[in-house]
Structure 1
Amino acid sequence: MSLPNSPSGPGSRRPEGALRRIGEWCARHAVAVLVLWLVALAGVQVLQRTFGGEYSDDFSLPGVQSSQGRDVLARHDPEAGGYTGQVVLHDRTQPLAAVGGQIADAVTDLGRLPDVLAAQSPLPPPGSPPKPPAPGTPNTGPLSADGRTGYLAVRFRVPPVTLGPEYLAGVDRAVAPLRAAGVQVEYGGSLGELARPRTDDRLSEAIGFAVAVLVLLAGFGSVLAAGLPLLTALIGVVCGLGCLGLLAAAFTFATVSPTLATMIGLGVGIDYALLLITRHRQHLMDGAAPEVAAGRAVAGSGRAVLVSGVTVVIALTGLSVSGVGFVGKLGMAAAITVVTAVLGALTLVPALLGLLGRGIDRFPVRRPVAEAHPAPDGAAPGGRRRYAQRVARRPWWYLVGGVFVVAVLAVPLFSMRLGHIGDGADPVSFTDRRAFDLMSSAFGPGSTGPLTLVIDRSEVQQADRPALAEQAQQVLAGVPGAAAVTPLRPTPDGAALTATAYPAQGPQQPGTTTLVHRLVHTVLPEAVRGYDAYGYVTGTTAGQVDFLDSVAGRLPLIIAVVVALAFLILLIVFRGVLVAVKAAVLNILSIAASYGVVVAVFQWGWGGPALGVSGTVPIEGYVPMMMFAIVFGLSMDYEIFLLSRVHENWLRTADSRASVTHALETTARVITCAALIMVSLFAAFLLSDNIVVKMLGLGLAVSVLIDATVVRLLLVPALLALLGPRAWWTPWWLDRVLPYVDAEGQAPRAPRRARRAAAAPPCADRPGPRSSNYGPDRRTRLRR
């Protein structure tokens, strides 16, 4: 129950803030607000269906050596450049030469498709016998030794995934005669990416929603109260996805972007609505009118929602610091639905609360309850209070126990191997997986990830070019890690030399990455030594290695920027240096633990097959970066929700341990419900066919689970008990320059002179007149 002289009590004379006015206005004009949201929802969907773009994966990075090599090929041999895809053919009953006519027709028809530079048949010219590989030399294609497996090499001017699903129909028509003749036809390489089935995560979303309904029913005890967060979160996400589709017409967003945006948008949307509704129902139980209760909820918890949303958006947009457009746009995609979730929480939620009035607890499934009040003096403490008191008595034990659990989970992190997940990890229902198996069986694993070597000798004198070619051919003979390297051949204008290197391992294996680095940094520089020439390794596999190197090199910068910005936000909101440091450190620990679980499952194979992953796979290069931004932002949700209550009680009582105890009591149920919903939403995406989505779903689910249990139940209360009043200390000179933001809408700001006088470092367990910049002394001065 609010104290009479507290800012939330009847005796308060504080002017109503902007958020309270917004909340009350939306509650009093509920029909208008609801109509505006529905019109916006319908309008965005119509625009998106009419003008929206497609999603595609573009890992290319301008300026890296693989892109430079592709540009050299485009200038000197356009038909050899571009993006390579394979049409893999296999006949169980006879050699492919028996259907040579159909193969020739397919090559002709493929060559006529838009954006196709060239298409090459696996068969030798008519009348020429097949040329077997030299003794001891592996057969790298395009025709297997038994003549029953081969591939058509198709080079595209642009990445095939950018051409849209309708383009695949033309490819299907070109190879239809081969399928009619009984030949198995599969698509590999970049063409296989185009042919992958579109990810349909509706089952995952439905399961996540079903679990969320059960959790909300258990937490609220009312059908209407449980359905309202789901409805508002869904409306916000659909609006956000519509805006994302419109942006996709102008920018290239990854295929995983809508799924990622849905995961994050639903999670934070339900969380924010849950927090507001909990506060609103408590105000109703205290006797406030529905419109007033909605306004107070937005004025109080709405500030925490706003601060939390800003923190999540900053963490996501911080991915743009990577300088990798692909990764930065993934963060932008998720940030869009976070913005719509915040808007929905601050406007749509109070509107529906005002529309329902006191009928929010209609159709109860049990006795409705709202926020818990602390046990009155002399009453037996509840379970959460007893637990908080035990933590306060022995904080070091709980702190060490929590750190031990997190450290054990984080152990696999130190063996993390970044890479690109190849076609071999896809389900066998995917055509690119079947093409991968056929190619690997007939030509070896390296045939699925060939490397194109380019030597630009345009600046070399004509007389010196033969000597350069001879020197380079000698250096390229017997490169460690390469199954075979084809002879160098000049481009039509003679200005460049090209060859193909076939790795001894598959594209996602560490040996292939090592081979690319060896070719770029050692072999090709040696091949052109003494000449004004430059060597490049290009192709899809080389581009993926360059992408991974760029992402891995910039991950520390992203971590530093996101942590610094989040630290600054917490410092501004709670005005406690140690509180902000604690939050940043604990969030990093929970992220490290989630990284460890992802490595153990996918890279070590502990349970990977049960999740539909074939064998062990590396960690996709941009997944750690995405997980860090998302997890750090979401962890701040619970941090702000809990600390705002601790801070509120600290301002009223100046008793640090009692404030922690009270905050755990009043927020335990809402944070637990929010965490269970978030975990269920993320874990449901483990059913996706996309392995990257599986990684993100598992990592995010584990991180939220760790954050809501180990961090919130062990580490946070233990650290706050150890820090005591020191947690809220800020030097007077820093307090003077920091802007003022009230996360809960509870604490009025002290005059600058009072803040400066109270900013001395704490010297006792309980603050005195000069021991802290917050406490009863400050409140007394304010009332005077």
Structure 2
Amino acid sequence: MPSRRHTSAAAAPDKPRRGLLRPLGEWCARHHYLVIVLWLVALGGVHAANSTWGGTYADNFTLPGTQSQEGVDVLDEHAPQLGGQSSTIVLHDSAKPLTDDRSQVDQVVDNLSKLPHVIAVQNPLPSSSQPPPQPAPSTDGPKPSSPLSKDGRIAYITVRWDTNPQALGTSYLDNVDGAVEPLRQADVDVEYGGSLGELARPKANDLLSEAIGFGVAVVVLVIGFGSLIAAGVPLLTALLSVIVGVSCLGLVAAAWTFASVSPTLATMIGIGVGIDYALFLLTRHRQQVMEGEDPVVSAGRAVATSGHAVVVSGCTVIVALAGLSVSGVSFISKLGVAAAITVVTAVLGALTLVPALLGLIGRAIDRFTVRTPVAESGAPASAKPGATAGTRGTGTAGAGAGAAEAQGTWHRYAQHVERRPWWFLGGGIAVLAVLTVPLFSIQLGHIDDGADPTSYTDRRAYDLITDGFGVGTNGPVTAVIDQSKVPNADRAALADSVQKNLTGVPGSASFSPLQTPGDGDVLLSTVIPDQRPQDEATTDLINHLADDVLPKAASGTEAKGYVTGTTAAQVDFRNIIADRLPLIIAVVVGLAFIIILIVFRGLLVALKAAVLNLLSIGASYGVVVAVFQWGWGGPELGVNGTVPIESYVPMMMFAIIFGLSMDYEVFLLSRVHEAWERTGDSRGSVAHALEITARVITCAALIMVSVFAAFIISTNIVVKMLGLGLAVSVLVDATIVRLLLVPAVMTLLGKSAWWMPHWLDRILPRVQAEGDDGT
């Protein structure tokens, strides 16, 4: 039979942490000038260090154990001139055939071959003694592969590097520009594809997105708090924390290779949580100052209580991001590390810089007002101290707070939900169900260059290749057959079998005649899909070649077949992510469940938090699929046509969203929990918690939504996806989940929500959501 636990059970633990946070907050508030100077020195130091020694970002990943990587390893062993990383340099002469530019093409090929890290360069023009190869008349057999179009006006040079060109930096790009300059002087259009094209893209400039996010944050904070000074504290803290965090990421990138989207992702998360964490402390501090508390003492108490919630929330976000390591793919794990770095600096900023700013401001926190400031519960600042809703640690708001609670709009709303909980629960679930519907048709894949803006050189290269050779040529795949263990007498029969099985494969436009490069121990053919690289038919073709066609061709021999190349590696990456996403979801949900269970000591409360977060994440997935994969508004967002969902986006969204949603979960449940322990009124505690957290959670959510949504204007489609998905998730979490589902579920559960088996209660460690301030 559920019963209210004794209050002392939750009040006893955590003395060491309580003893650290309050003195830290008070020390920072008293020595505010020193703390602020230290932060500025740290800011200047790490930024300068990053400018001098910081690393570069590149989408460079390996997939050990996959068939595409094994195919690369076979090529490196038997035909090293065909290994490494390849990119295309596409040529277009609108006035004359490129054969008329032979001397310039030969010069460019020679220049490129002399560049550092270049393994091989393929000249697209046939020798002057022979005509360019023409496609075979039959579509059933192999076709000669020619990098020169039929009309001779489009060609592509294939360059192979021993590393990813993205990792070589823009200075190396200058060398490539110099190498191809003879063709540009001959009025030949030169565009870069592949990794080289990604290196040549305009550098991501998130300043506009950041400015929009900050602008909206200013408006929301000024309206929410009525004071320009109060609004400035979270913004300044978040800004300094993010700059320090991103600079630290740059220094770490000197040792590890991070994805090109990493700094944008870190900035996005850092701004959001940085403002949130500072806002939670500021809200508590202003309440206490309005009640007559000394600002220095108040800052210490705010760090000891709400600062403790910030630590719990920050750790939850980091734990969720750490769950990405379960993928076993370093590319994904490092994205989690990148985001976690700015979460750490945001927590540090909240615990040190915020109290320092509060100590500097003193009682002037509500100066330069645009309207009458309000306290945490919504009461005006002129209200009698102690008359506002009680919160543990505010001194005057302890016993008897239930009678003194302000019966505001949110309190009355919660009581309205209490009367018809099933209606609100059903309505909330219905909305989430509708938003989730597109999720069931999700197509994971890799977004190809054809979806990029035409201002990108890789998009222009993609269009030229499509015009000259067909869209599938943008994503060729290489069939590699390792015949090193096959006797020489049997190799001719093996070649015949391979050619026979490659003929007429559904989804392939053509394949080149078999070659035996290098030491002759490999058979090689380039297969051209008949659809674009991001199309699901291309994914099906690659899987069919790897799983069926090549094994059948090599059956009865000791030969082994592999499908490799950039497109094949992307399909393997997509397959790994699809296979491991359920495991990551289970790990992250399990960890979050345990954290909520430990903090709030309620089995059903923890289960409720996990389930509702899953529902809100499913809804955000559905919106992303509808916009980008179905095309419902995609063109308006600058996306060329419909695109698949980038394979790692759902995984990143899940970890980030699940972690961030814990911010509001911890903040709201901590107030519900303390009211429940004080009064034993399960329904009234929900109404009370909504009343005193409504304004700060609403402000925080609006800010985070605006920060994430501002990144939709990015030219990077993956950033657009993440920005939209995160914005929708926070919006759903702060409205449907908090306003409909949480009060309805908590009402239906009643006292059962806080039930905890005695044996489990004894073995779990005790951690408070909001620490005790020691008074």
TM above 0.5: yes
Shift of 1:380: 8.8
Counterpart among 536, 543, 565 of residue 517 in structure 1: 543
Q: Structure 2: how far apart are the matches of 1:566 and 1:120? A: 53
Q: 1:16 to 1:747 in 2, by over 3 A?
A: closer
- 1:237-295 Cα deviation digits (max 9, x unpaired): 11111111111011010010000001111100100100100100100011110011111
Q: Does 1:620 align with 2:646?
A: yes
Residue of structure 2 equivalent to 1:69: 71
Q: Which amino acid aligns with 2:268?
A: M
Q: 1:183 to 1:288 in 2, by over 3 A?
A: same
Q: Structure 2: how far apart are the matches of 1:535 and 1:642? A: 56
What SS class does the counterpart of residue 17 from structure 1 fall into?
helix
User: What aligned pairs does 1:458-607 form with structure 2 within 5 A after superposition?
Assistant: 458-607=484-633
Q: Structure 1: how far apart are the matches of 2:405 and 2:116? A: 79
Shift of 1:60: 2.4
- 1:287-308 Cα deviation digits (max 9, x unpaired): 1100111111111111111111
Counterpart among 24, 27, 45 of residue 26 in structure 2: 24
Q: Structure 1: how far apart are the matches of 2:167 and 2:61? A: 12
Structure 1 stretch displaced more, 240-249 or 411-420: 240-249
Q: Does 1:187 align with 2:192?
A: yes
Residue of structure 1 equivalent to 2:3: none
Shift of 1:526: 0.9
Q: Does 1:101 align with 2:111?
A: no
Shift of 1:7: 13
Shift of 1:335: 0.4
Larger relative contact order (CA 8 Å, sep ≥ 6): 2
CA contact 2:482–2:523 (8 Å) conserved in 1: yes
**RMSD in angstroms over aligned alpha carbons?**
2.1
Q: Structure 1: how far apart are the matches of 2:470 and 2:503? A: 19
Structure 1 stretch displaced more, 548-557 or 465-474: 465-474
Q: 1:569 to 1:16 in 2, by over 3 A?
A: closer
Counterpart among 429, 436, 445 of residue 403 in structure 1: 429
CA contact 1:318–1:558 (8 Å) conserved in 2: yes
Counterpart among 266, 269, 273 of residue 268 in structure 1: 273
Total equivalences in the alignment: 741
Q: Structure 1: how far apart are the matches of 2:413 and 2:168? A: 59
Q: Structure 2: how far apart are the matches of 1:181 and 1:661? A: 75
Q: Does 1:326 align with 2:327?
A: no
Provide structure 1 residue ranges, at least 5 long, that are not aligned to the other structure.
749-784
Provide structure 2 residue ranges, at least 5 long, that are not aligned to the other structure.
1-6, 378-398
TM-score by length of 1: 0.92
Q: 1:14 to 1:251 in 2, by over 3 A?
A: closer
Shift of 1:131: 2.3
Q: Which amino acid aligns with 1:250?
A: A
Residue of structure 1 equivalent to 2:131: 129
Q: Percent identity between the aligned chains? A: 65
- 1:521-550 Cα deviation digits (max 9, x unpaired): 000001111111111111100010011111
Residue of structure 2 equivalent to 1:745: 771
Counterpart among 653, 658, 675 of residue 632 in structure 1: 658
Shift of 1:52: 1.1
Shift of 1:323: 0.3
Residue of structure 1 equivalent to 2:247: 242
What SS class does the counterpart of residue 676 from structure 1 fall into?
helix
Shift of 1:168: 1.1
Q: Does 1:683 align with 2:709?
A: yes
- 1:323-361 Cα deviation digits (max 9, x unpaired): 010000000000010011011101111111111110111
Shift of 1:149: 1.0
Q: 1:375 to 1:408 in 2, by over 3 A?
A: farther
CA contact 2:133–2:144 (8 Å) conserved in 1: no
User: What aligned pairs does 1:154-233 form with structure 2 within 5 A after superposition?
Assistant: 154-233=159-238
Q: Which amino acid aligns with 1:487?
A: P
Counterpart among 660, 674, 699 of residue 700 in structure 2: 674
CA contact 1:648–1:746 (8 Å) conserved in 2: no
Structure 1 stretch displaced more, 708-717 or 110-119: 110-119
CA contact 1:207–1:684 (8 Å) conserved in 2: yes
Q: Which amino acid aligns with 2:151?
A: D
Q: Structure 1: how far apart are the matches of 2:433 and 2:400? A: 34
Residue of structure 1 equivalent to 2:440: 414
- 1:487-506 Cα deviation digits (max 9, x unpaired): 11112311111110000101
Q: Which amino acid aligns with 1:568?
A: I
Residue of structure 1 equivalent to 2:258: 253
Residue of structure 1 equivalent to 2:41: 39
- 1:553-593 Cα deviation digits (max 9, x unpaired): 11111111111111111011000000000000000000000
Residue of structure 1 equivalent to 2:389: none
Q: Structure 2: how far apart are the matches of 1:575 and 1:7? A: 10
CA contact 1:490–1:498 (8 Å) conserved in 2: yes
CA contact 2:47–2:244 (8 Å) conserved in 1: yes
Q: Does 1:354 align with 2:380?
A: no
Residue of structure 2 equivalent to 1:314: 319
Residue of structure 2 equivalent to 1:280: 285
Q: Structure 2: how far apart are the matches of 1:529 and 1:671? A: 63
Residue of structure 2 equivalent to 1:111: 113
Residue of structure 1 equivalent to 2:342: 337
Q: Structure 2: how far apart are the matches of 1:213 and 1:141? A: 58
User: What aligned pairs does 1:408-447 form with structure 2 within 5 A after superposition?
Assistant: 408-447=434-473
- 1:165-204 Cα deviation digits (max 9, x unpaired): 1111111112111111111111112221221121111110
Q: Structure 1: how far apart are the matches of 2:153 and 2:658? A: 53
Q: Which amino acid aligns with 2:200?
A: A
Q: 1:330 to 1:179 in 2, by over 3 A?
A: same
- 1:434-460 Cα deviation digits (max 9, x unpaired): 110111111111100110111111111
TM-score by length of 2: 0.93
Q: Which amino acid aligns with 2:322?
A: T
Counterpart among 60, 80, 83 of residue 82 in structure 2: 80
